[in-house]
Amino acid sequence: MARVLAALAMAAAFALPAQAAPVQTGHIEAELVARDAGVTPGGTTYVALRQKIQKGWHTYWRNSGDSGEATQINWTLPAGWTAGDIVWAPPTRQPTGPLMNYGYQGEVLLPVAITAPKSARPGDTITLKAAAAFLVCEEICVPEDAVLTLDLPVVAAAPQPDPRWGAAVAKALDAAPKPAGLTATFARTAGGLSLAVTGAPLKGADLADAYFYPFKSTVIDHAKPQAIERGPEGLTLALTPGYDFTKGTAPEALDGVLSLGGQAYELTAAEGPPPAGSSGLGAPPARVSAAAPGAGLGLALAFVYALLGGLVLNLMPCVFPILAMKATSLAGHGHERAAARAQGLAFLAGVLATFLSLAGVLIAIRAGGSAVGWGFQLQSPVVVAGLALLMLAVALNLSGLFEVGTSLQGVGTGLASRRGLAGAFFTGALAVVVAAPCTAPFMGPALGWALTQSEPVALAVFLGLGLGFAAPFTLAAFAPALLTRLPKPGPWMDTFKKLMAFPMYGAAAWLVWVLTVQAGEMGLARILAAAVVLALAAWILGLAQRRQADGGKPLVLAGVGAALAIGAFVLVLVPAYGTPAAAAASADAAPEPGTIPAGVYSPEAVAAARAAGKPVFVNFTAAWCVTCQVNEKVAFGTAQAAEAFARTGAVYLKADWTRKDAVIAAELARHGRAGVPLYLVYGVTDPEPKILPQFLTPALVAKALDKAKSS
């Protein structure tokens, strides 16, 4: 019996591939592993080159990207035996400084088809020999090589899977990119190069992290982001043309791999118009990372997030002046329930109409190919200047310099007139315009998700945001218990109204400061001159109103006042504003003692700092974002934060979105955000950044930097 068992064991041993010990090349453990326990005469099996790569190092895909070199295998086989091409595993992005490379980390199996000749004899064992050459890189690159062998039995019947490596090699073959019947075209565009793809595999798939890896290294600029636009049948990627399109011979086709996170497909794109269903809004906004907050939201959850974000938005500092103005109206109608409810509904209508209008304009601009986000209106100096004058005009009206609608003596008396409802509608609209630059908690993920969806879905999310924003005031107008607690109308209301003018003066001053950041000294001179003209116009209009109340007909005075008011707005509208000359110089100025040295954000600056082994803190901010400015003082303008940056050696980069910047807009969208603030902290080795809360403290900044230093 013992002899029989020994014979069976020996037979089993001869029927299995005999593997040599793995070879240590320095930073890689390499070996050949088989899918099957043998191969039949004339049959084909797969033998994979297994790489177990040292942590922090990487090898390269067939197209290594901006630098590097693909893994190579040179086979030495018996006569009649043949080896096919490498079946490349789906690559991952390997950023190195300002470069973008494609390759592998950890463990990867690269299968190769091995075919036996029909003359192979069952019972024989052949030795496969392969000389593998790797370029393995971390901060430096080291060429390494290994000579690997594998003994493979020839068997008469279909072999069983190799018990140790069969499943792993089969899994690698299954995961390898394959043609899947995709229809793809490419076209040159004003912004670069578009790649449109449709097909059954894309229907209902998660397209949030779609990425195109070309087979040829010179057709695109690998370091540039790939913007994505979803369509009902597929997607369109916005690529940056490479050498072949700019200086070389443009290719007739784009070949490569489309990666969708967990799936990868080979495709070949011919030049031509995009296939139907590949696009949604017409031109691609920035790519949204699958790992970004909000990337996996559905409509229901996004709507809830938007509703909560709208509620919290009422607590943002930028909204205080408008709420103060609305409080004046509520006080005037506190004991007239019908009038108060009409005011509440008119305010709601103004909020919803303006939110949806801004959303529609935003969607249309992005459909035209511009990378814009929430709060885009305050990126225009013309809009900022116009709003500053509007805030000043409202403040002068509340101060009693002139009247709009009912006279000062009639404040708080009678039911709301049509003009009063129009005023409530206007107040709701103005509140949205001023509040839009602020991004409250819950808002960021919801808006970031909404702007990657179809128009109806996006508008539904913005509707939720508007409902949440308008809810407190509208519900208060319908709350009898609250209204009965308000003092009865009387002389105090005139004093309260004039007191509420000062938040509006503050809002006007803030917008003037924003304009100064955007347009420099000349912008400041223009807005101050226009403000003086507008104040004179308001005084003249008030004088005309008082003379009319006394029975006069001051048509000339009224005409002069109206002309001056129009002139004030024209003064800030034309000519166009330039960029402040001092901006570039201030960026290079030496930081004051106790402050944090700040660099200008760019993807290349982030990559360079990370390549140097330093943590990176990126502050996406804007002068018109009040939350951002509060964090500047409360969190960054402290000795504790400055000491944390000095202690960890972290690089501090500012991404200033005060004026339009397509690169910043693309990076915001990549992290699922449509506006600022956004705070990213890159660890020394972590591939993806950590997103900090929108409200910061010095302790929170210091903790994040300490963690980034050690990760």
Q: Between the CA atoms of 425, 429, 435 and 441, what dihedral angle is there, to the nearest 10 degrees?
A: 70
Please state which CATH number belongs to domain 15-176: 2.60.40.1250
Q: Is the pLDDT of residue 517 over 60?
A: yes
* Sign of the alpha-carbon dihedral angle for 558, 560, 562, 564: negative
Which letter, b or e, does each residue of 240-274 get, where b requires 16 or more Cβ atoms within 10 Å of its Cβ? bbbebbeeeeebeebebbbbbeeebbbbebeeeeb
**Cα torsion angle, 525, 526, 532, 535, sign:** negative
* Mean pLDDT across 57-71: 94
Looking at the predicted structure, is the pLDDT value of residue 591 above 70?
A: no
Which tens digits make up the pLDDT trace of 234-246?
889 999 999 888 8
3-state secondary structure of 159: coil
What is the full DSSP assignment across 671-696? Answer: TT-SSS-EEEEE-SS-SSPEEPPSS-
In tens, the pLDDT along 321-346 reads: 666 666 666 655 555 677 778 888 88
Confidence of residue 477 (pLDDT cuts 50, 70, 90): confident
Which residue reads 């490569």 in tokens?
A: 256
Q: pLDDT tens digit string along 373-405?
A: 555 566 778 888 888 888 888 888 888 888 764
Helix axes 337-367, 418-435, angle to 10 degrees: 40
CA 548 to chain centre: 56
Tell me if domain 15-176 and domain 582-710 are identical in fold: no
Q: Where are the domains of the chain?
A: 15-176, 179-271, 299-573, 582-710
pLDDT on residue 321: 65
Q: Give the confidence band of 313 by pLDDT, cuts at 50, 70, 90.
A: confident
Q: What is the fold of 582-710?
A: Glutaredoxin (3.40.30)
Secondary structure element (H or E) that encloses residue 313, with its range: helix 299-313
The pLDDT tens digits of the residues spanning 342-371 come to 888 888 898 899 888 877 877 776 554 444
271-275, 369-373, 384-388, 418-422, range with the lowest pLDDT: 369-373
Quote the DSSP letter at residue 586.
Answer: H
Statement: residue 191 has pLDDT above 90: no
% of the chain exceeding 70 in pLDDT: 79
- Look at residue 484 in the predicted model and tell me its pLDDT: 60
Residue 538's nearest CA partner among 508, 516, 580, 518 is 508
Cα separation of the two ends of the chain = 59
Task: Tell me whether residue 42 is exposed, middle or buried, using C-beta atoms within 10 angstroms of its C-beta: 0 to 12, 13 to 18, 19 or more.
Answer: exposed
Q: What gap in Å lies between CA 267 and CA 256, rounded to an integer?
A: 6
